[in-house]
C-alpha cells in the first residue's frame, strides 16, 4: 500500500497540514556519499528543503556529509543506529537503537535530532517511547515513492510522485540499503521538484514549535544570524506533538 491513513497514533505524524501549500520531502537511510551529495545539489538548485532520516552508524562514518545536510538548511533526523527491523530485536536493544543514533547525531551537530522514523515504518512501542523521551516526534509518511525493489523504476517512481498533494509527507531514499534504488530517485528528483513548483507546492521542513513562534520556526537552528538570507520557502509548520500535553 502506498498511501496511509491520516493519523493512527495521536502523537505520530503522518501528514502535514493542508492549508499552507507545503509538502514535506523526507529522505531515509543515508548518509551515502554516492547519492546524498547529488540529492543535496538538486535540492539546492530548486531552493527546496527536506528532512533526512539518517542511520547513526553511517552518520559517524561520514560526519562531514551530515554537517553539509544541516548547513544547507535541511533537517537531520533519527532513523536508528543500525536500521534493524524493529520487530526482530529486544525492547532494550530497540531503545538503544534510538538513543545511540540520537547521541551520534548530537555529537556531530551539537544539537539533538527532533524527529524519529522507525526502519521499515514499523512502529514499536519501546522505540516510540524512547524517541519521545528524547523529545523526538515520530514522523511517518503519507506518500511513498517506492524507490526500491522491482517496482522502483524511474517511470513508476515519477508517476507516484506526480500524485503528491498539499500536506503530503513524501518518503524517498538517498542510500543503498536492502532493495533501495537511490540512483533512480536521483534521476526523477529534479522533474518532481519542477512539478511541485508549477503546482505552487513548497517543499518545506517540519518544525516543532508553537504556532505563535512562526518567525522563529522559519530560521533553521544554528542559522539565526543569517535569517534574512533565507529564501521565502524555508518555512516550517507546527507538528502535532507541539500541541500535546507533554
Ligand atoms: Zn529506512
Q: Is residue 245 part of a domain?
A: no
Q: Reply yes or no on whether 28 is catalytic.
A: yes
168 bridge partner residues: 15
Annotated catalytic residue, options 28, 32, 58, 174: 28
pTM over 0.85: no
Question: What CATH code is carried by the domain that includes residue 181?
Answer: 3.20.20.370
CA of 169 to the centre of ligand 1 (A): 15
Report which of 80, 59, 165, 169 is spatially closest to residue 122, judged by C-alpha positions. Answer: 80
Least confident of 82-91, 141-150, 236-245: 236-245
CA of 171 to the centre of ligand 1 (A): 10
Quick check: helix, strand or coil at residue 137? Answer: strand
Domain residue limits at 17: 12-240
Q: Is residue 198 part of a domain?
A: yes
Write down the pLDDT at residue 215: 32
Least confident of 27-36, 48-57, 141-150, 219-228: 219-228
Element housing 51 (H / E): strand 50-54
d(Cα 148, Cα 61) in Å, to the nearest integer? 24
Annotated catalytic residue, options 22, 74, 173, 174: 173
Report which of 78, 132, 122, 140 is spatially closest to residue 241, judged by C-alpha positions. Answer: 132
Q: Reply yes or no on whether 29 is catalytic.
A: no
CA of 229 to the centre of ligand 1 (A): 33
CA of 94 to the centre of ligand 1 (A): 15
More confident residue, 8 or 148: 148
Q: Which residues make Cβ contacts (< 8 Å) with residue 20, sequence separation at least 6?
A: 166, 235, 237
Q: Is residue 246 part of a domain?
A: no
Burial of 70 (0-12, 13-18, 19+ CB in 10 A): buried
Mean pLDDT value of segment 43-63: 97
Which residue carries 560526519 as its cell?
A: 63
Q: Is residue 28 part of a domain?
A: yes
Amino acid at each position: 500500500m502506498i498511501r496511509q491513513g491520516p493519523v493512527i497514533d495521536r502523537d505520530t505524524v503522518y501528514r502535514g497540514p493542508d492549508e499552507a501549500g507545503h509538502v514535506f520531502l523526507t529522505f531515509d537511510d543515508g548518509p551515502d556519499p554516492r547519492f546524498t551529495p547529488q540529492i543535496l545539489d538538486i535540492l539546492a538548485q530548486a531552493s527546496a528543503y527536506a528532512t533526512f532520516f539518517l542511520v547513526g552508524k553511517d552518520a559517524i562514518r561520514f560526519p562531514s556529509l551530515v554537517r553539509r545536510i544541516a548547513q544547507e538548511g535541511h533537517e537531520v533526523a533519527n532513523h536508528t543506529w543500525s536500521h534493524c527491523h524493529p520487530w526482530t530485536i529486544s525492547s532494550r536493544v530497540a531503545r538503544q537503537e534510538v538513543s545511540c543514533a540520537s547521541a551520534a547525531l548530537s555529537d556531530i551537530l551539537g544539537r539533538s535530532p527532533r524527529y524519529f522514523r522507525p526502519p521499515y515504518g514499523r512502529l514499536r512501542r519501546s522505540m516510540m517511547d524512547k524517541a519521545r523521551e528524547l523529545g523526538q516526534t515520530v514522523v511517518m509518511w503519507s506518500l511513498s515513492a517506492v524507490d526500491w525493489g522491482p517496482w522502483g523504476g524511474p517511470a513508476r517512481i515519477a508517476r507516484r510522485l506526480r500524485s503528491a498533494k498539499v500536506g503530503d509527507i513524501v518518503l524517498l531514499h538517498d542510500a543503498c540499503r536492502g532493495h533501495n534504488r537511490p540512483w533512480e530517485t536521483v534521476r526523477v528528483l529534479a522533474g518532481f521538484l519542477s512539478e511541485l513548483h508549477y503546482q505552487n507546492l513548497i517543499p518545506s521542513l517540519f518544525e516543532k514549535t508553537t504556532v505563535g513562534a512562526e518567525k522563529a520556526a522559519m530560521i533553521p537552528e544554528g542559522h539565526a544570524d543569517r535569517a534574512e538570507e533565507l529564501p521565502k520557502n524555508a518555512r516550517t509548520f507546527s507538528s502535532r506533538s507541539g500541541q500535546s500535553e507533554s
